[in-house]
Amino acid sequence: MFIEPEIIRLEAGEVVYERGRELFEENSLQGPFAFSLVEDSLLGKISFKTYQCSFELSLQSHSLLQSHCTCPYFEKNGLICKHLVCVLLQGKVCFSQLFPKNFFLLGISEKKELVQSLLPKLSGWKLDTQKENTLSVSELTRKVKTLLEGNLHLQNIYVEGEISSYSPNNSGHIYFSLKDEGALLSCAKFKGSAKLLFQPKTGDKVIVKGSVCVYEPRGSYQFIVQEMKKAGEGDLYAKFLELKNGLEQKGYFDQAHKKKIPAFPRCIGVVSSETGAVIRDIIHTIRRRFPAVEILLCPCSVQGEGSEKSVLEALQTLSQRSEVDTIIIARGGGSLEDLWTFNSEKLAKEIYSCKTPIISAIGHETDFTICDFVADLRAPTPTAAAELATPELSTLFSFLESSSRQLRVSLKRNFESKILRLAHLESDLVNSFEKYCLEQKHLLDAANEKLRLLSVESVLAKGYSLTVKGEKEGGFFLSSSKDISEGEKITTFLKEGKIESIISKKIEK
Amino acid sequence: MSYETDIKRIEEILSLLENGGTVRLDEHVALVKEGLALAKACREYLDLAELSVKKIISTGEKSDLELS
C-alpha cells in the first residue's frame, strides 16, 4: 500500500534489491517495529542486527518520504541499502495485513485516527513465522526440483545399468528402468534425442548419458536420457563415429551424389544371404508388387569372419552386370557387432563409386550403419527396400487405365469440337447467303421504282399529260370519262407544273 | 520392350494432346492409337509377367534359385 516493491527496486538498484529480498525471504528481520504518528507521517523504526533502520511514510501521498540506516553502505552513499530493502518489504507485508484495503480513500483525519488505533498492533506485529515455514506440496517439490536439477553432479552424467522394463511409446518416446543389484532408476528417452544405434531390449546392459529431472505432477524423479549405448561397446561405437565423421567430411553422404532409383527396373540385384528371412521377404514383396522383373541374387556371408570380403565381392559382381538396374544390400537385425561388416570403409568406397543405384537395408529401423549412410537410399527394413525398388503393379495398372481413358476422351473432345466448329461455319454460310439475297432484292426493288418513274417522265416530256381526279397527287389516274362527273375538279400533270380544271362537259364514248 | 520408355511415351502423348488444339485431327487419331496400343501392350506384359529369381554361382553363371 505504501511501498511498492518495484519502487524499492528502482531506488535501491538491482543488486542491492536482490540482496535485501534474500534477507527478507530468509526471515532475517527479528525485532518488532516501533511506529509513531508525527503530524501527517507514519514513522517506523526497527533494529537490524547492530544497525538501526528508520523510515517515514506520508499518509497524504502514501509514499516513502525518507529512510535511514546506520550501516556503512548507507552512511557512505546515502542510498537505500539491503537492510532497508528488507525492512520495507516486511513493512509492506505488515501494512497489507493490518490496513483495510480502502485506506487510501479515507480523509486525512480519518486516516490518522485509524493509524492511531492501529499503532499498538503495528508495533507488536511480527511475521507469522510458523505459517511461513509451512510449505505447500508444490513448493516443496519445486525446492527438490531446484536442488536436484541445479546440481551439476546430477546433470549430463553417465549411468550404467541393466534395462528392466522397456516400453517404446507410439509417440516415439521411450520409457524404461535401469537397475542393478541395489536400486532402480526410472528413465525416459524422448523422441528428439540422439537416434539409437541399436534396438534396446529388457536385460541389455547399457550406459546412458543424461540428467536427473523431477517430474512435479507425480513427485517422482527420472533420468532423462540423451544418449544410450550398449555397455562394453564403447570402443566399437567410438570407431563407428570416427569412421562416420571421416566419410561425412569426405562428402560420401552428400545428397547431391545420390543416384536416383529407377522407377521401372528390369533386373534387381540383391546382395544378401541366400538363406533366411531377408531374401524371402524381398522376393515375396517384389512378387506381390511388380513381378515383371528379374531378381539376381549374389549370395554372400553377412556376418563374422570374411563377411566384409564376401559382401564386397558380391557387390562388385552385381555392379559389373549391365542388366542390373538397382542393387539392394540387405541384412536382418543384430547387435552392433553383428552389423559391423557394414561399417566398413572399403564397402563405403565401393558403394560410393558404384554406377548402379544402391538401396541399403541393414538391420532394424533403429540400426544405422555406414552402408546405410553411403547408399543412394536407406530402407528401414528389407521389405521396405523391395518396396522402394519397385513400382506397385496396381498403381501401374490404374495409370494405364486412366491414361487409356484420357486418350479416348481427348479424341472424342477433339471430334466434338471440330463438329461444333463445322456446324458454326455452316450456319454462318447460310446466314450470309440469305443476307446477300435480301440485299439484292432491295437493290432490284429500288431499280424498278426508278425505272417506273423514268418511264412516266419520258412520256410527259413528249407533251403527253397525266390527269388525276381531285386536287391531290394521291388521286387515281383518270382513264375513262365514266369515272368523272360534270362540275368535278381534276388535276393535270405536265412535264413542267400542273393545271387544275373543272369539268364543263363530259362526252361518253 | 521397356515399359519405362513405353510409359514415358504415353505420358508424352498425353501432355502433347493436353496442350494442343494445334494437333491435326489425323495426327490426333494417330497419337491416340499409338498411346492405346502401348497401354494395351504394357498391360498384357504385366499381366503375364512372372517373377524370375536367379542367383549367380561362383563361375559367374546364373542359376535358378531354390528357396529352402
Global ipTM: 0.78
Higher pLDDT, A63 or A210: A210
pLDDT of residue A455: 80
Is pLDDT above 50 for A9? Answer: yes
Cβ within 8 Å of residue A153, ≥6 positions away: none
Taking alpha carbons only, the member of A404, A46, A14 closest to residue B13 is A404
Q: What integer pLDDT is reported at residue A227 of this predicted model? A: 86
The three-state secondary structure class of A60 is coil
Least confident window among A182-186, A293-297, A339-343, A414-418: A414-418
Q: Output the average pLDDT for chain A.
A: 86
A333 close to A310: Cβ distance less than 8 angstroms? no
- Look at residue A153 and tell me whether its pLDDT is greater than 90: no
Q: Do A415 and B49 touch (CB under 8 A)?
A: no
In this predicted structure, the answer to whether residue A509 has a pLDDT above a threshold of 50 is yes
Q: Can you tell me whether residue B60 is helix, strand or coil?
A: coil
The architecture CATH gives domain A139-232: Beta Barrel (2.40)
Residue A131 has pLDDT above 80, yes or no: no
pLDDT of residue A130: 45
Map out the domains of chain A as residue ranges.
5-132, 139-232, 240-391, 466-502
d(CA A200, CA B2): 46
Rounded CA-CA distance A20/A287 in Å is 79
Query: What is the spatial distance between Cα B43 and Cα A272, in angstroms, rounded to a whole number?
Result: 32
User: What percent of chain A shows pLDDT beyond 70?
Assistant: 96
B60 interaction partners in chain A (CB closer than 8 Å): 317
To which residue does cell 542388366 refer? Answer: A323
Q: Average pLDDT of A234-242? A: 75
Please answer yes or no on whether B46 and A396 come within 8 Å at the CB atom.
yes
Measured between CA atoms, the residue of chain B closest to residue A393 is B46
Range A133-150 average pLDDT: 85
User: Nearest to residue B11, comparing CAs of A85, A382, A396, A311?
Assistant: A396
Residues in chain B closer than 8 A to A421 (CB atoms): none
What residues of A are in contact with residue B35 (Cβ under 8 Å)? 403-404, 407
CB atoms A279 and B7 under 8 Å: no
Q: What is the pLDDT of residue B60?
A: 64
Q: Over 80: is that where the pLDDT of A28 sits?
A: no
Read off the pLDDT of each residue in A22-44 and give the average, rounded to a whole number: 82
Query: Architecture of A240-391 per CATH?
Result: 3-Layer(aba) Sandwich (3.40)
Give Cβ neighbours of residue A256 (< 8 Å, ≥ 6 apart).
none
Q: Which of A127, A129, A55 is nearest to A88 (CA)?
A: A55
Give the gap in angstroms from C-alpha A296 to the nearest C-alpha of chain B.
5
What per-residue confidence (pLDDT) applies to B63?
74
